[in-house]
Structure 1
Amino acid sequence: MSKRGDRLQNKGKRGSRRAAAERAGSGTRSRRGKSSPKSSRSAKSGKPQSPIWRWTKRLALWGGAAALLGAIFLAFAVGFAARSIPSFYQLKATQNAQTILVRARDGSEIVELGPSFGEWLDYDDIPDNMKNAMVAVEDRRYFSHFGIDPYRLGGAIIEGVTGDDRIGGTSTISQQLARNVFLNSNRTFDRKAREAVLAMALEWKFSKEQILELYLNKVYFGGGAYGVDSASRKFFSHPATDLTVAESAIIAGLVKAPSRYSPTADVDAAVARARTVLRLMREQGYITAQQASVDVDTVELKQQAGQNSVRYFTDWALPQLDILLPETFAPIEVWTTLDVGMQRAATASIESNTPDGAQGALVSLDRDGAILALVGGTDYVESNFNRATSAMRQPGSSWKLFVYLAALEAGYTPDDRVVDTPVTIDNWSPRNSNGRNIGETNMRTAFAYSVNTVAAQLGNEVGFGTVASMARRFGITTPVSTFPSMVLGSSEVRLIDMTRAFATVSSKGVGVQPYGILKVTAASGETLYEREEPRRNTVVADYVVAGMTDLLQTAVQTGTGRAAQIGRPVAGKTGTTSSNKDGWFVGFSSGVTTGVWMGRDDAQPVPGLQGGRSPARAFAAYMRYAVKDRPVEQFDIELNLPEWRLEPDEEYLYGDPDDYYFIDEDGNLIEPGRRDPSNNPFDIEGEQRDPPVDQGRIETPRVDPPPAVSEDFLERATGGELPGGGNNRTAPAPDPGTPQRQQTSGRVPDGVRVIRPEQDTAAQQ
């Protein structure tokens, strides 16, 4: 190759290397100079980027992402909650508890118990004034928000940040509905968050009209009233469809604080709150200025009974519905036997006569057992313990009712002679309250002045078990002791049971069962239960009741119960326990039987408390009102003894066996006191056998007595033919028709008949 060619080749290589270097240098300068448009602007400004700006941009990016994720999560939560919420019709049918409206015997309302839901009103049936009033005072932006109000929500967040534990005043109508239906009332941030989610779920699932309908039918307005219809009936005595503007304002104002603004609790507060509601309605254009100026003071409120003593009666009567009715949660109306006027009189008599520091109770029954009034204490709010139906206290001398009933049934009469003398029975020695004994007297006087020794003797004679049995027959349901001291009222009883026993005497011996419910109806008027007249049994004979009424009347006329007189015939008995721990008076007049008890719950003595004082005065104060519209009734105290009481027969086996002839199995009479103890075929209760004959003594030969009656009489006496081979001889027969007084001891074996001798009968007359 020529040299010229070599130079050209080398020149070409150098050019190539220079071009490559220029290209490389150009790239380097470009990188070092930051020739990009952004870099050029920064270079021209000469200011570096701020870290705050960089962090702001980052937070914006992260916040946006978090907000997006939160929105997605909230959407899922709201959607899930909306799917879990029951349907509109299920929520409409939901009722949490039963409402019981209690009516008196005249049909008037005396108390309403349990939550009241009234009638369900559809959205179109609710007056516009009521809907507008509720929106104006509770949620003015109700028709524009989506379940939560951003303004109120902002306030809630501020309160949460500032550390206020009570987050309130932020709930929309939708949130309040969610809380009332699904949540509790704990005012915490967690509950508010769940409340907001549920509110949006409600808005998602239901229309505004449906939500407002649910709210107005379920929100609590105080006094047990849920829903506008219940509130309208409770406070104004008419359905919600008839609400006026002023009445709607009063009801709408209750939601904020039902107990504070209730018109039955504070009328002034309720009126002031209603005026605020009217102002808000006018400001928001729901009513005119003229409508807003309505005088709320002129609104007629429903009269309230205001008797807390009625709750003693309802506490006793309403639990019986569990037996009378099938299980139901529907609203019911209970028609009772309670007389409103008598209940007021009973409450006043107890409050005005009960000694300081003591409690009092009263039960009043009609002649068929219907409870006319019942007071279980001096103040139900202070103590709801029902002393009329639950307290068990010693009845004192009022228990002698059963002792004398047993004695009268055993053969005594009010005129029979008894002896007030010291007595000891099984190491028990009762004493009279005055410490004295009056000697011989009659039954009437002994009962009227409550002589303890006579009651003890009578109880011992008829038998303490007999007295206990008599108490059971007359309705005593508590355990009854059969120790001797029981005749003076040592067994604890309930006031309602003692009143029932005296009512049985008032009803001429026909058993009385206290009752308080006449019928039960549903809200629609359907009768669910109606009381039927029960079969009533006679527990004692008429003559026993007549004798007992005689004794009871005397106790009020001249005895220990004189303070119970009311200007018409009254029969009753006082009772006072040891150390004046209990005071009783139970009695009746004109078909009304009333029992009064007073004492301390801790059974401590009450100075001066006696049955013939405060209890008897309370009885009289009440009974003057209770019988004022009833005719005066005289007591039937005439003793018309039946024939079998006048003519003893084989079913009337009473008396001391030594006072009677006994007919043995061979038809022979055994003279009084001449029975052979070795051959005695039976034991007499309480009688001791004769001691055995000493072995060293010569026994007198036994001589059979001559027959005392003819064979015809013996056949009639034994109820059959005489056995053959007897050595019977004729003799005058005693007159079986001779009247005689019943004795109170003795037991006769089967197959043996008792015949009273004429001379013994004459001696008793």
Structure 2
Amino acid sequence: MAKRDEPRRGSTVARLFRGLVIWTFALLLLAGMGLAAAVLVTARSLPGYERLKSGQAGHMIVVRAADGSEIVTLGPSYGKWVPIARMPRVMQDAMTSVEDRRFRDHWGVDPVGIARSVWVRVEKGHWRQGGSTITQQLARNIFLNNNRTFDRKIREIVLALALETNFSKDQILELYLNKVYFGGGAYGVDSAARKFFGHSGEQLSLAEASIIAGLVKAPSHYSPTADAKAAVDRAQIVIRTMQEAGTITPAQAEAANLKEVKLAQEAGQNSARYFTDWVLPQLDQILPDNDQQIEVWTTLDPQAQRAATEAIVANVPKDAQGALFSVDRDGAVLAMVGGTDYVTSNYNRATNAVRQPGSAWKLFVYLAALEAGYKPDDKVVDEPVTIEGWSPRNSGGKYAGQIDVRTAFAYSKNTVAAQLGNEIGFGAVANMARRFGITTPVATNPSMVLGTSDVRMVDMVRAFAEVSAKGAAVTPYGIRKVTTTEGEVLYSHRPDPVQQLVPDYVAAGITDLLQTAVAIGTGRAAQIGRPVAGKTGTTTSNKDGWFLGFSSGISTGVWMGRDDAHPVPGLQGGTAPARAFAAYMRVATAKRPPEKFQTDLKMPSQQLEPDDETLQNSPDSYFYVDPDGNIANHQPVAPDAGEALPPRPRDDTVPVPDDQGQAANNEFLDRATGAPPATRRNIPRGAAPGRPPPAHPGIGN
């Protein structure tokens, strides 16, 4: 019986296989016929070549400040149309080599390119190169948007095949080179050449052509005016690709000196362009399909912006850069300065740069400690300590012995921060930072408590704004509404639902500490004659200086340092950054009444001891998602060298309130500052070391 069943089973499998093949072929045939019909119908409906040449992508955008004044008017720049016969050959070859090497060999869609893209996806685990041809990109730029949907991709393929049906390869390449976007409002090769090099697109060298071709992948990232190094690195890839494709010889590739390319001087720009460069790309998410002339009403305060620019320029150390980011209590961005000169460098250090925050990171250490049950008056010991082989030190190597938490924070005691982090768990500190909006990878080794993980200023300011909001989440935003030129509202900002990040008593406790740091601690130079809460940050060898704080509902961060991360002599968070903060905040808060901080600890009755689970956080239990979407564990980084007390502020005429939360009695302050008692014999009660007595006792908290 078994032998008689075997042929029957074999014939059944064969029939199923034949049926599968037949049905697969039939479905593919039907799909092919449907695609062919769609291409023919689309090809008949396409505009003529002359009409496609005259059609323009993009639209005029008027950007307005919070008071309705015009910040800038932006619109597409197309330059002169360059026929393919006059387009430099190096420009044609550079573009086809890097964007679509098989441009002359496919019918608008490249199966080989798609297969290569899929193979790289399988091999690398993520997409590293796309399969879109130049014809597909042209179809997308002229007829579609950049939404990454399956439906849009199908329409893109149909349009690409239709374009190849109606037009020659030279016509398609001519359209593409004259319409593709190169950043900075420049559409087409001629516009890009005039913007970046100051001459016509018909006069491009190999080096210049490689820079322009390299922009298509990411115009803002590879712009030579934003990041010259990134532009050169990308251009080198283009030249290498051209050589591999056989469009230039090794000798030509070697002769292309990218470092000798001269960039055109841009017309004068003010610092508000850092803000518009940050806010305008958000329109792609807010109004992805807009094709109308629009007005973008932003949150920027022109008076605050001018004050921010002046504060940075007046206080930044020589050969260093500076940045400032300021938000209102609801997250509305009031001012943004991304560097000392937008024309020289339009790289936005306020939103894009990642730097170590130094002791400003202690915000998260003490937040986690307060949530675990610590209180500002609790006693801690400032003494040498070693944790997992790491021995942090205080500035000057001085230790104060037993002090309270408030004093330890005010004078930025590294050893106390290390002990607190070790006790509550470095994973708890990292998770607190994540909770308050830190988006960059966070290490969980012991030295992380001193700010050795890179951060973005926008994230740090957000965290301080959330403390100012009594522990509620705050999301920075720059667009209030978008309207047509006729006034029709196309978009209006809606506040996020209220989300409490920490209990009220934790927010009150950290505000108490931040206020004391400005009143008598490392942040004294940030005083402005009204209640201020804030924290300084200084990194190893004075490479970075930070001050972040808030007053009267405005939260502001200042960073200073060099782009190459070289040391800046004398730079500390409590010096130039704190002075810039004060200069800006005096103007920004001038029309607002002083606000007393809520620092009363109203702990819930059940909060008797630190939460056991909080105390058991393990560094190995903390993970983050890297920029490629991969789950990764913490990475060890170098320790912070600590932070020194700054000299007193330049403006000694500013009154210093005597009741802004005295950190400790004079005996404690002697030990905290390392000063002998004799130096304080004639200092009245309530006066900070190194400062005159309070001029106006009883002003605010």
Shorter-chain TM range is 0.5 to 0.7
In the alignment, what sits opposite 1:629? 591
In the alignment, what sits opposite 1:465? 427
Give the letter for the 1:601 counterpart.
D
Is 1:391 aligned to residue 347 of structure 2? no
Return closer, same or farther for 1:413/1:114 CA change in 2, 3 Å cut-off.
Answer: same
In the alignment, what sits opposite 1:261? none
In the alignment, what sits opposite 2:606? 644
Per-residue CA deviations over 1:485-525 (Å, capped at 9, x if unaligned) read 00000000001100000000000000111111111112332
How far apart are 1:368 and its partner, in Å? 0.8
Distance in structure 1 (CA, Å) of the matches to 2:407 and 2:509: 13
Is 1:110 aligned to residue 68 of structure 2? no
Give the letter for the 1:442 counterpart.
D
Is 1:321 aligned to residue 321 of structure 2? no
2:404 to 422, 439, 442: 442
Per-residue CA deviations over 1:107-165 (Å, capped at 9, x if unaligned) read 11101112389xxxxxxxxxxxxxxxxxxxxxxxxxxxxxxxxxxxxxxxxxxxxxxxx
Q: Displaced runs of 4+ in structure 1, greater than 3 A? A: 83-87, 93-96, 179-188, 223-226, 651-656, 683-686
How far apart are 1:653 and its partner, in Å? 4.2
Return closer, same or farther for 1:685/1:605 CA change in 2, 3 Å cut-off.
Answer: closer
Unpaired segments ≥5 residues, structure 2: 1-46, 89-183, 188-266, 620-701
2:544 to 564, 578, 582: 582
In the alignment, what sits opposite 1:97? 58
Per-residue CA deviations over 1:639-659 (Å, capped at 9, x if unaligned) read 11111124x7xx954799xxx
Task: Check conservation: 2:269, 2:342, Cα contact below 8 A.
Answer: no
Per-residue CA deviations over 1:460-499 (Å, capped at 9, x if unaligned) read 0000000000000100000000000000000000011000
User: After superposition, where does 1:263-274 map in structure 2 within 5 Å?
Assistant: none
Distance in structure 2 (CA, Å) of the matches to 1:684 and 1:397: 22
In the alignment, what sits opposite 2:316? 354
Return closer, same or farther for 1:521/1:116 CA change in 2, 3 Å cut-off.
Answer: farther
Give the letter for the 2:365 counterpart.
V
Per-residue CA deviations over 1:419-460 (Å, capped at 9, x if unaligned) read 001000000000001211110000010000000000000000
Distance in structure 2 (CA, Å) of the matches to 1:372 and 1:684: 38
How far apart are 1:96 and its partner, in Å? 4.0
Per-residue CA deviations over 1:743-765 (Å, capped at 9, x if unaligned) read xxxxxxxxxxxxxxxxxxxxxxx
In the alignment, what sits opposite 1:411? 373
Is 1:515 aligned to residue 515 of structure 2? no
In the alignment, what sits opposite 2:689? none
Distance in structure 1 (CA, Å) of the matches to 2:469 and 2:57: 45
User: After superposition, where does 1:476-555 map in structure 2 within 5 Å?
Assistant: 476-555=438-517
Task: Check conservation: 1:99, 1:116, Cα contact below 8 A.
Answer: no
Distance in structure 1 (CA, Å) of the matches to 2:68 and 2:77: 19
Give the letter for the 1:105 counterpart.
A
In the alignment, what sits opposite 1:339? 301
Give TM-score, length-normalised by structure 2: 0.54
Task: Check conservation: 2:312, 2:580, Cα contact below 8 A.
Answer: yes
Return closer, same or farther for 1:520/1:605 CA change in 2, 3 Å cut-off.
Answer: same
Return closer, same or farther for 1:187/1:508 CA change in 2, 3 Å cut-off.
Answer: closer
SS of 1:367's partner is: coil
Task: Check conservation: 2:472, 2:500, Cα contact below 8 A.
Answer: yes
Distance in structure 2 (CA, Å) of the matches to 1:389 and 1:498: 10
Distance in structure 2 (CA, Å) of the matches to 1:506 and 1:492: 23
How far apart are 1:684 and its partner, in Å? 12
In the alignment, what sits opposite 2:258? none
Distance in structure 2 (CA, Å) of the matches to 1:606 and 1:499: 23
SS of 2:494's partner is: coil
Distance in structure 2 (CA, Å) of the matches to 1:641 and 1:476: 26
SS of 1:107's partner is: coil
Distance in structure 1 (CA, Å) of the matches to 2:576 and 2:455: 20
SS of 1:470's partner is: helix
Give TM-score, length-normalised by structure 1: 0.49
How far apart are 1:180 and its partner, in Å? 5.5
Return closer, same or farther for 1:187/1:501 CA change in 2, 3 Å cut-off.
Answer: closer
Give the letter for the 1:439 counterpart.
G
2:523 to 549, 561, 574: 561
Larger radius of gyration: 1
Is 1:378 aligned to residue 340 of structure 2? yes
Task: Check conservation: 2:541, 2:567, Cα contact below 8 A.
Answer: yes
Return closer, same or farther for 1:478/1:685 CA change in 2, 3 Å cut-off.
Answer: closer
Give the letter for the 1:451 counterpart.
K
In the alignment, what sits opposite 2:555? 593
SS of 1:111's partner is: strand
How far apart are 1:408 and its partner, in Å? 0.5
Task: Check conservation: 1:98, 1:116, Cα contact below 8 A.
Answer: no
Question: Comparing both chains, which one has the higher relative contact order based on Cα–Cα distances under 8 Å and sequence gaps of 6 or more?
Answer: 2
Per-residue CA deviations over 1:72-95 (Å, capped at 9, x if unaligned) read xxxxxxxxxxx97858xx99x843
User: After superposition, where does 1:278-293 map in structure 2 within 5 Å?
Assistant: none
Per-residue CA deviations over 1:306-333 (Å, capped at 9, x if unaligned) read 7521111111111111111122343221
In the alignment, what sits opposite 1:11? none
Return closer, same or farther for 1:511/1:186 CA change in 2, 3 Å cut-off.
Answer: same
Distance in structure 2 (CA, Å) of the matches to 1:504 and 1:571: 13
Task: Check conservation: 2:63, 2:298, Cα contact below 8 A.
Answer: yes
In the alignment, what sits opposite 2:572? 610
Distance in structure 2 (CA, Å) of the matches to 1:396 and 1:539: 23
Task: Check conservation: 2:372, 2:614, Cα contact below 8 A.
Answer: no
Distance in structure 1 (CA, Å) of the matches to 2:81 and 2:395: 66
In the alignment, what sits opposite 1:669? none
Distance in structure 2 (CA, Å) of the matches to 1:509 and 1:433: 31
Return closer, same or farther for 1:535/1:185 CA change in 2, 3 Å cut-off.
Answer: farther
Per-residue CA deviations over 1:349-388 (Å, capped at 9, x if unaligned) read 0011000100000000100111000000000110111100
SS of 1:320's partner is: helix
Return closer, same or farther for 1:620/1:655 CA change in 2, 3 Å cut-off.
Answer: closer
Identity %: 66
Return closer, same or farther for 1:556/1:384 CA change in 2, 3 Å cut-off.
Answer: same
In the alignment, what sits opposite 2:414? 452
Return closer, same or farther for 1:684/1:375 CA change in 2, 3 Å cut-off.
Answer: closer
Alignment RMSD, CA only?
3.0
In the alignment, what sits opposite 2:250? none
SS of 1:476's partner is: coil
Give the letter for the 1:99 counterpart.
M
How far apart are 1:593 and its partner, in Å? 0.3
Distance in structure 2 (CA, Å) of the matches to 1:392 and 1:373: 19
SS of 1:478's partner is: coil
Distance in structure 2 (CA, Å) of the matches to 1:86 and 1:381: 37
Is 1:430 aligned to residue 389 of structure 2? no
How far apart are 1:98 and its partner, in Å? 2.0
Give the letter for the 1:606 counterpart.
V
